[in-house]
Amino acid sequence: MNLPLGYRYSATYAGIRREARDDLALIVSGAPAAAAAVFTQNRVQAAPVKLCRQHLRASRGQVGAILVNAGNANCATRTGDRVALESCRAVARQLKLPPAQVLPASTGVIGVELDFTLIQKALPQLLAGLAEDRFSDVARAIMTTDLVPKEAFGEFRLRRGTVRIAGMTKGSGMIQPRMATTLGFVLTDASIPVAKLREILKRANERSYSRLSVDGDTSTNDTLVLVANGCSGVRPDPKEYAAVEEAVAIVAETLARQIARDGEGAKKLVTIDVTGAANNDAAAQIARAIANSPLVKTAIAGSDPNWGRILSAAGNAGVVFDPAKVDIAIQDVTVCRGGLAARFSENELKNRLDQAECTIHFQIRGKGKGAARFWTCDLTEGYIRINASYRT
Amino acid sequence: MNLPLGYRYSATYAGIRREARDDLALIVSGAPAAAAAVFTQNRVQAAPVKLCRQHLRASRGQVGAILVNAGNANCATRTGDRVALESCRAVARQLKLPPAQVLPASTGVIGVELDFTLIQKALPQLLAGLAEDRFSDVARAIMTTDLVPKEAFGEFRLRRGTVRIAGMTKGSGMIQPRMATTLGFVLTDASIPVAKLREILKRANERSYSRLSVDGDTSTNDTLVLVANGCSGVRPDPKEYAAVEEAVAIVAETLARQIARDGEGAKKLVTIDVTGAANNDAAAQIARAIANSPLVKTAIAGSDPNWGRILSAAGNAGVVFDPAKVDIAIQDVTVCRGGLAARFSENELKNRLDQAECTIHFQIRGKGKGAARFWTCDLTEGYIRINASYRT
């Protein structure tokens, strides 16, 4: 898969995290690019989230570079706002950009001061390392408790030529993005005006990051940025925007799914489909309630087709439905029909649940057309081990 | 502590659960008693919950007996309604009560048929075993994954004489009662009219079971019943109802705290106080968000004073507050002041967190008078072990 044209990438170790692996990364567009972003809905917002919002407003969605660090969330700190601003300014000076065209993003521990001098000292090496083929180095640098880097690519023909799209993301815990998750960057070389880009991101986000939960905790730093630099020289026809949106959404979905699969301690990716609800929002609420139930998630970990927990979790979604009209299938095996136990071979289904991917289909019989797909993971002892000792 | 006058208790093994320990219990009042109850808000409600509601309506709050089984929730089953009704009728016949004066309650696995013949066969022994001193046998019979029985007692003087109060409860997982939790029975020998009893229960519940979460999952069977049989011959003065309410609330709080302490896999009881919120509901919402955050709960398990997770969890409560005005204390040590890290000895606090009881105080500085106390427990690998194999 080819990377989008006109972007350069770099990553280095600035000493922000204890472990000596890259923790500071930069994405630079060779041409002025349009950008749209969605952010966490947490009431507590990290300094880079606030500044990123300000910069996008001040620049009217023009962006030249994205500066990201891992190992420190730059949230709830005395000097956070200043460190975020100084960091963007330093990058802007070197790249000869207005400071508002540099977007900051941070991920890591909350409440610990981020030392600007570490970033300052690492900048020369970071800039010197910029190269078109270092996309994956950035994807690795932004990892925290992630076990694997997360990337997704697309390439598609429009009438006027081919455009490319590449996305990266990170995230493993504190994951229940309400708008976006932890960090995600999706880049394309198509030429798309800012207003259109915002629409595309909003809808793509709704069916990807907003349908994802690892542990029900929404981070203070969630940021998803979509950048279009036009370096392909291809501007979509008005009729082609639906296809562009579909391509962006597929990349975003692929990234979101990778986050669920790499959820802290997770052994299994769980895909939850809810159909037959009154509307899509109601379906999503039911799916979210199932995805966030620790009893459902531990049952999946134990390969236990305990559909009673699924029905009970759905009952807590705050959505009106008739339990007597509910069918539930696990791994395509109907385990509950009309709200009652269906006949199935428990041993056979247990074996099927030992796979790395599990599906739950919660279907309400009737006239409702509301549907939603949601991703989560199982809850294992690994989640506890990781999070009982994250800082120590 | 003396038990309330006029109640008899019995428990036996009916073969409902695999393990051979008591799973069927009966509480009988010697005199017609007034009763009030609160139930789960889950959309999916077990047969005994629905029938209990009907019986209380039909009898206008008069009750003679409570029949409880553990090991089977009698929820989402074909024959559930009939089994619950037949069970109550069988007990009513023997005790010469109208069937509506027998209240049913069940707890255990969802979606498995409850066999009425087991109850029918066990009834003679259950009735023969009725005795005034078997309160604790019932408290033990209703346990599922509970490690310890949960009881609370009170005795207090009113102008016209002494009245007694005794409560029992069970619950360890699927615990986030929105109205009541899993099962709780509070008995008194005071004479209290039904309407008054309902008020007392509503308010006592609001500061006890409704302020409790083990895992954020609300059960399909939650039932809390308050019974007053008047056998002390003491009817409170109108002015004394506040004292009665306080006594009932203290018993209910004691029971709720015991559930949190015995949460599945829990090593620590966590008490969360939120103060300075706009109102009590807002405070409770913040407290609930902190109590339900798996990241906060695993940090407590690891004795990690990670206040950033507490602040972030509060930020997800859906309540407006200014993070810059937040102080957080863990075990009475201020770890966050004005939304920023406070100075404290991390090692010393870690040691303090190794205790069996932990406190979190989330204080919003300002004019708000809203306050709430909430109970939860830490999240350990034990929770996963228990729930990945509950049915198997």
Same domain for A163 and A140, yes or no, is yes
Diameter over CA atoms, chain A: 68
Beta strands, E only, B113-264: 150-158, 161-170, 183-188, 223-228
Name residue B55's amino acid: H
Taking CA–CA distances from A342, the nearest residue in chain B reads B111
**B384 vs A379: CB contact, 8 Å cut-off?**
yes
pLDDT at site B386: 86
**B302 vs A392: CB contact, 8 Å cut-off?**
yes
Q: How far is B315 from chain A (nearest CA, A)?
A: 4
Q: Looking at residues B12-18, what average pLDDT do you find? A: 96
**Model pLDDT for residues A333-356, shown as the tens digit of each residue:** 999 999 999 999 999 999 999 999
Q: What is the CA radius of gyration of chain A?
A: 22
Same domain for B145 and B172, yes or no, is yes
Size of interface A-B (CB pairs under 8 A): 199
pLDDT at site A219: 83
Q: How far is A83 from chain B (nearest CA, A)?
A: 15
Name residue A370's amino acid: G
Global pTM value: 0.86
Model confidence at B217: pLDDT above 90 = no
Mutant choice from B79, B174, B312 vs A, greatest count of A C-beta within 10 A = B312
Same domain for B45 and B183, yes or no, is yes
Same domain for A279 and A223, yes or no, is no
pLDDT at site B392: 46
Same domain for A98 and A244, yes or no, is yes
SS3 annotation, chain A: CCCCCCEEEEEECCCCCCCCCCCEEEEEEEEEEEEEEEECCCCCCCHHHHHHHHHHHHCCCEEEEEEEEEEECCCCCCCHHHHHHHHHHHHHHHHCCCHHHEEEEEEEECCCCCCHHHHHHHHHHHHHCCECCCHHHHHHHCCCCCCCCEEEEEEEEECCEEEEEEEEEECCCCCCCCCCCCEEEEEECCCCCHHHHHHHHHHHHHCCHHHECCCCCCCCCCEEEEEECCCCCCCCCHHHHHHHHHHHHHHHHHHHHHHHHCCCCCCCEEEEEEEEECCHHHHHHHHHHHHCCHHHHHHHHCCCCCHHHHHHHHHCCCCCCCHHHEEEEECCEEEEECCEECCCCHHHHHHHCCCCEEEEEEEECCCCCEEEEEEEECCCHHHHHHHCCCCC
Which residue out of B12, B144, B169, B181 is catalytically annotated?
Answer: B181
Q: Looking at residues B121-136, what average pLDDT do you find? A: 97
ipTM for the assembly: 0.84
Same domain for B82 and B137, yes or no, is yes
B194: nearest Cα among B32, B28, B388: B32
Q: How far is B363 from chain A (nearest CA, A)?
A: 15
Boundaries of domain holding B342 = 269-387
Q: How far is B222 from chain A (nearest CA, A)?
A: 12
And the tokens for B8? 């008899």
H helices, E strands: number in chain B: 11, 14
Same domain for A187 and A239, yes or no, is yes
Could you tell me if A198 and A248 are in contact, meaning their C-beta atoms sit under 8 angstroms apart? no
Same domain for A346 and A313, yes or no, is yes
Burial class of residue B20 (count of CB atoms within 10 Å of its CB; 0-12, 13-18, 19+): exposed
Taking CA–CA distances from B218, the nearest residue in chain A reads A316
Q: Which of A215-229, B258-272, B334-348 shows the lowest per-residue confidence on average (mean pLDDT)?
A: A215-229
Q: Looking at residues A146-162, what average pLDDT do you find? A: 91
First to last CA, chain B: 40
And the tokens for A348? 């056979």
Q: Whole-angstrom Cα distance, residue B392 to residue B389?
A: 5
**A217 vs B112: CB contact, 8 Å cut-off?**
no
Q: SS3 of B177, please? A: coil
pLDDT at site B190: 95
Which residue out of A12, A107, A144, A181 is catalytically annotated?
Answer: A181
What CATH number is associated with residue B315? 3.10.20.340
> Domain boundary residue among B195, B228, B261?
B261
> Domain boundary residue among B233, B261, B289?
B261
Domain count, chain A: 2
Residue B1 in any domain: the answer is no
Q: Which of B75, B113, B292 is facing A308, going by the closest CB pair? A: B75
**B111 vs A390: CB contact, 8 Å cut-off?**
no
Neighbours of A351 (CB within 10 A): 12
User: If you average pLDDT over every residue of chain A, what do you get?
Assistant: 93
What CATH number is associated with residue A21? 3.60.70.12
